[in-house]
Chains A and B, each alone.
Chain A
Amino acid sequence: MKHKTFDRNRLILILLASTSLALLIATIVGLIYFYNRVNDYGPGGNEQINRYKHVYAFIADDTDDTLSNSLYKDLVEYGKANDCFVERIGSGLASNYSKSDLFNIAIYSKVDGIIVQGDGTAATDALINKADKAGIPVVTVLTDNKNSSRKSFIGMNDFSVGTDYGTQIINAARESGKGAGETVSVLILMNSQYSNQNTILSSIQEKVATANPVGPQIKLSTESITSSTAFSIQENVKDLLDGYSTLPDVIVCLSDINTRSVYQCIVESNRVGSTRILGYYDSDTVTKAIERGSVYATFTVATEQMAKFCVDALNEYKEMGNVSAYFSTDYELITIQTLAARQQQGGKGKDEET
């Protein structure tokens, strides 16, 4: 009887001891979890902080522009790999600043270099000169400010781009079904702030003039979009196209925002197929439009290469004190055929030169 009682007591003790041990283990695990949690969320936050040798400012014309966003992404990525961080100056602030303010902020913030989307204007030239005077090297990207003291320009060859646009206009005219003696109207939408578009236009005109005289006659006309903000550009484009009772046979857009605005207006007014759009840059919207046949062709920019050249140019200047004044970047024509081929190759042909 006593033996049984002893066994029962022992069993209870073992059970209690096991429970206590289990609770103890749970407590220790909980404690470790708790400490990790608290330490992760200290006052400094849980973000990992990497430090770099240089910080460069990137100033784009339009913060919503797909091209500039894509370029900035590549700039950051490549910059981090080369011990520098590219800051999109003015982003995340409670106020929107003009290019002039952004330049001032960059200068006052003593950045190590500025990558600016050039526009060829005198105002920007002055800003570039001011920065240069403050000891901050500036490189222009996409569009140049030749008259400034920028250290280098990184962008496509405008003349070459214009020639390729001309070729595509001729192709589109041929495919329009119009015969000799008939006129194919081509509308070229330009942006007043980008002076380099004049070079492209000249090149287009030159190419079209050398077109086969047997085919339909190509009549080029230009319209300039004066607004600089995204919202007003879209409105201006709509107003412009609404003014046409019959849409031009070919509409050429020389900027990403123009391309997207034109495409959207055509879709909204249910006039898809009544014109051929030659676009600029392969944003997702444009790529999808090409797949559907709503956009005839577009030119894409090799942003990764462009980003590399920008960062390298600034790093080289910081190290050597001088750098090449011009870096030519690649571009690619995208049509429904090349898109299919690219999809098959997994996008390998994106950087190939046309």
Chain B
Amino acid sequence: MKKLNSYFRNLKLRHKLVLVFLFATLLSLGINVFVYVNLNSILNKMDAVYSSNISLNNISDCLEKIQTSLTGYLETKGTDELEAYYKYSQEMNIQLSNMNNLPTDNTSKLTERNIRKMTENYLSVADAAVLAKRGRNIMEYTKRYEECRQLYDYLNVYIYSLNNEQFKNNSENYQTLMSSIQYSEVLCLSIFAVVSVMNVLLIIIMTGRITMPLTTLAEKANEISDKSPEKVEPLDVRYNDEIGTVTKAFNQMLASIKEYIRRIRAQMVTESAMKEKSLLMENHLKDAQLKYLQAQINPHFLFNTLNAGAQLAMMEGADRTNEYIRNMADFFRYNVKKDNEVVKISEEIGLVDSYIYILNVRFSGEIKFRKVIDETLLDVRVPSMIIQPLVENSVKYSAHDSDEGSDENEIVLSLYKKEDMACIEVSDNGPGMPKETVEKILAREKTGSDHDETKGIGLNNVISRLDLFYDGNEGVDIISGVGEGTRIIIKIPME
């Protein structure tokens, strides 16, 4: 059954339909043949019902003809009569061979046997009469003829009686067969009805099985158009026919749509995040630039002015003044040129050098600045303006706030490599920061101590820009405590 089912599933749609209708047609044909054979059999039986009567009538007719021809021959010795006598005697012998010859308890059959035996006797007596007639033995053939007459009478009574008896029986059989035919009609109609119902049922089931996947497919298609394709489950592929192929293609299409939607969604999320990041970067930079501009007040003007001053100092032979003014000019130029750029660490260090020179001229060499540089890292690229603000911070909170002229105030800028990261460390031995301030800065929160941020570029700004630039892959560490100095370490990925 399972094999049959599996075979049916694997058939082509056209073959399936052909198979279903062929089966239904064959079933109808089979029933028709069955009904035909059935009715034919009954009709044959009906034909045979009165055959025994017909046979007896034939015997009776034949006997009568024999008797007539015998009488005629004995009367006139006519050859026609003799010929007729032999002809009918032969015919009679043929007919007798079909009759019962054995003792039985069946009345009709026993009577049949008696008729056969008596007829045989009759024929032998008649033959003897004919023979006697030929020998012109009048006494003999008259005696034989009388015997024949007697036998003829007996036979007529026997045939008549048996005919009557058989007619009675046959009529009963006929009635029975007639009623059987009526019954057969009802039966055949019932069979037709049953088979028709079964046929219809079969066609409903089979066409249902064939069209059901199509309906399901259509429903799924509607489902996709009505709601999100992501919520639609793929169809089961049960058949290997054309519908099975379409279903497979449908499932593939559904999977492709789902994948496409997923990709678009992911892309949108990424784009949105990138856009947000870019905006934030821009925002912070603008913020830094604003603060810087506010702090520096027209650096271009200052830069040009300072260059003019440097040239004047050179003409006047004032070398130190010239050096000082040139450093100032570099400092301001860097600010003008490198905004919103990625720069080498060496350039950042150059800016810090200029800044410290200016401050030392300003504060008469009070600021002790030391560099510990791993020169292999000088080409590592970083966002601009990240070291100078840290140094400025240290200057502001250590050298500036500490006791005047103290030799202990020193700012150290270190560049070294640690765990595949370029580390930029700015340390001072100033008063340091409370732990809470350090935690807030590291948590990227605004600190109360940034009230004077307008004067320099704040630590927060640097950290925020680094976060945006490196997607949080950089490391910022602040080691500080009140009276313990401050170490700000920035770990930058080397790639």
Q: Which residues of A contact B (CB under 8 A)?
A: 13, 16-17, 19-20, 23-24, 26-27, 30-31, 34, 37-38, 41-43, 45, 47-55, 76, 80, 84-85, 87, 92-95, 101, 104-105, 108-110, 112
- Does B150 sit at the interface, judged by CB under 8 A? yes
Q: Cβ of A34: which chain B residues have Cβ within 8 Å of it?
A: 180, 183-184, 187
- Asked if B49 and A43 sit within 8 Å, CB to CB, the answer is yes
- Asked if B106 and A110 sit within 8 Å, CB to CB, the answer is no
Q: Cβ of B157: which chain A residues have Cβ within 8 Å of it?
A: 93-95
Q: Cβ of B363: which chain A residues have Cβ within 8 Å of it?
A: none
- Asked if B45 and A101 sit within 8 Å, CB to CB, the answer is no
B229 to chain A, nearest CB (A): 20
- Asked if A20 and B104 sit within 8 Å, CB to CB, the answer is no
- Does B109 sit at the interface, judged by CB under 8 A? yes
Q: 3 closest pairs, A vs B, by CB?
A: A55-B103, A43-B48, A109-B114
- Asked if B197 and A19 sit within 8 Å, CB to CB, the answer is yes
- Asked if A43 and B154 sit within 8 Å, CB to CB, the answer is no
Pick the contact of A23 from B103, B176, B190 — CB < 8 Å? B190
- Asked if B117 and A110 sit within 8 Å, CB to CB, the answer is yes
- Asked if A20 and B45 sit within 8 Å, CB to CB, the answer is no
- Asked if A93 and B161 sit within 8 Å, CB to CB, the answer is yes
Given A37-B176, A52-B103, check contact A85 B197 (CB 8 Å): no
- Does B191 sit at the interface, judged by CB under 8 A? yes
A261 to chain B, nearest CB (A): 30
A126 to chain B, nearest CB (A): 16
- Asked if B45 and A43 sit within 8 Å, CB to CB, the answer is yes
- Asked if A109 and B180 sit within 8 Å, CB to CB, the answer is no
Pick the contact of B45 from A42, A50, A94, A108 — CB < 8 Å? A42
- Asked if A85 and B170 sit within 8 Å, CB to CB, the answer is no
Q: Cβ of B64: which chain A residues have Cβ within 8 Å of it?
A: none
- Does B290 sit at the interface, judged by CB under 8 A? no
Beyond contacts A31-B187, A92-B161: 4 other A-B pairs, Cβ-Cβ < 8 A, are: A51-B102, A55-B113, A105-B118, A109-B117
- Asked if B201 and A13 sit within 8 Å, CB to CB, the answer is yes
Pick the contact of B190 from A19, A26, A38, A45 — CB < 8 Å? A26
- Asked if A16 and B201 sit within 8 Å, CB to CB, the answer is yes
- Does B51 sit at the interface, judged by CB under 8 A? yes
- Does B205 sit at the interface, judged by CB under 8 A? yes
- Asked if A41 and B48 sit within 8 Å, CB to CB, the answer is no
Q: Cβ of A50: which chain B residues have Cβ within 8 Å of it?
A: 104-106
- Asked if A38 and B177 sit within 8 Å, CB to CB, the answer is yes
Q: What are 20 A-B contacts defined by CB distance under 8 Å?
A: A13-B201, A19-B197, A20-B194, A24-B198, A30-B190, A34-B187, A37-B176, A43-B170, A45-B169, A49-B109, A52-B103, A76-B105, A85-B103, A92-B161, A92-B165, A93-B157, A104-B154, A108-B117, A108-B118, A108-B151
Q: Which residues of B contact A (CB under 8 A)?
A: 41-42, 45, 48-49, 51-52, 102-111, 113-114, 117-118, 121-122, 150-151, 154, 157-158, 160-161, 164-165, 169-170, 172-173, 176-177, 180, 183-184, 187, 190-191, 193-194, 197-198, 201, 204-205
Pick the contact of A38 from B45, B122, B197 — CB < 8 Å? B45
Chain A residue at minimum C-beta to C-beta distance from B118 = A108
Interface centre among A27, A51, A101, A108 (most CB of B within 10 A): A108
Pick the contact of B111 from A19, A38, A80, A92 — CB < 8 Å? A92
Chain A residue at minimum C-beta to C-beta distance from B51 = A43
- Asked if B104 and A49 sit within 8 Å, CB to CB, the answer is yes
In the complex, A125 Cα to B90 Cα: how many Å? 37
Chain A residue at minimum C-beta to C-beta distance from B198 = A20
In the complex, A108 Cα to B149 Cα: how many Å? 13
Given A16-B201, A30-B187, check contact A55 B110 (CB 8 Å): yes
Q: Cβ of A31: which chain B residues have Cβ within 8 Å of it?
A: 187
B219 to chain A, nearest CB (A): 8
- Asked if B42 and A38 sit within 8 Å, CB to CB, the answer is yes
A7 to chain B, nearest CB (A): 15
Chain B residue at minimum C-beta to C-beta distance from A89 = B114
In the complex, A50 Cα to B104 Cα: how many Å? 6
- Asked if B176 and A41 sit within 8 Å, CB to CB, the answer is yes
Chain B residue at minimum C-beta to C-beta distance from A39 = B45
Interface centre among A20, A30, A37, A80 (most CB of B within 10 A): A20
Q: Cβ of A19: which chain B residues have Cβ within 8 Å of it?
A: 197
In the complex, A72 Cα to B125 Cα: how many Å? 32
In the complex, A47 Cα to B102 Cα: how many Å? 16
In the complex, A110 Cα to B113 Cα: how many Å? 10
- Asked if B48 and A109 sit within 8 Å, CB to CB, the answer is no
Pick the contact of B48 from A27, A42, A54, A104 — CB < 8 Å? A42
Q: Cβ of B177: which chain A residues have Cβ within 8 Å of it?
A: 38, 41
Chain B residue at minimum C-beta to C-beta distance from A54 = B103
B429 to chain A, nearest CB (A): 81
Given A16-B201, A42-B48, check contact A85 B114 (CB 8 Å): no
- Asked if A16 and B45 sit within 8 Å, CB to CB, the answer is no
In the complex, A38 Cα to B177 Cα: how many Å? 7
Q: Cβ of A80: which chain B residues have Cβ within 8 Å of it?
A: 105
B49 to chain A, nearest CB (A): 5
Chain B residue at minimum C-beta to C-beta distance from A50 = B105
Pick the contact of B107 from A43, A52, A92 — CB < 8 Å? A92
Q: Cβ of B190: which chain A residues have Cβ within 8 Å of it?
A: 23, 26-27, 30
Given A20-B197, A23-B197, A27-B187, check contact A43 B52 (CB 8 Å): yes
Q: Cβ of A92: which chain B residues have Cβ within 8 Å of it?
A: 107, 111, 161, 165
- Asked if B173 and A42 sit within 8 Å, CB to CB, the answer is yes
Chain A residue at minimum C-beta to C-beta distance from B109 = A49
Q: Cβ of B170: which chain A residues have Cβ within 8 Å of it?
A: 43
In the complex, A50 Cα to B183 Cα: how many Å? 32
B376 to chain A, nearest CB (A): 73
A14 to chain B, nearest CB (A): 11
Pick the contact of B105 from A17, A30, A42, A52 — CB < 8 Å? A52
Interface centre among A17, A76, A95 (most CB of B within 10 A): A95
In the complex, A41 Cα to B45 Cα: how many Å? 9
B37 to chain A, nearest CB (A): 12
- Asked if A84 and B103 sit within 8 Å, CB to CB, the answer is yes
B263 to chain A, nearest CB (A): 33
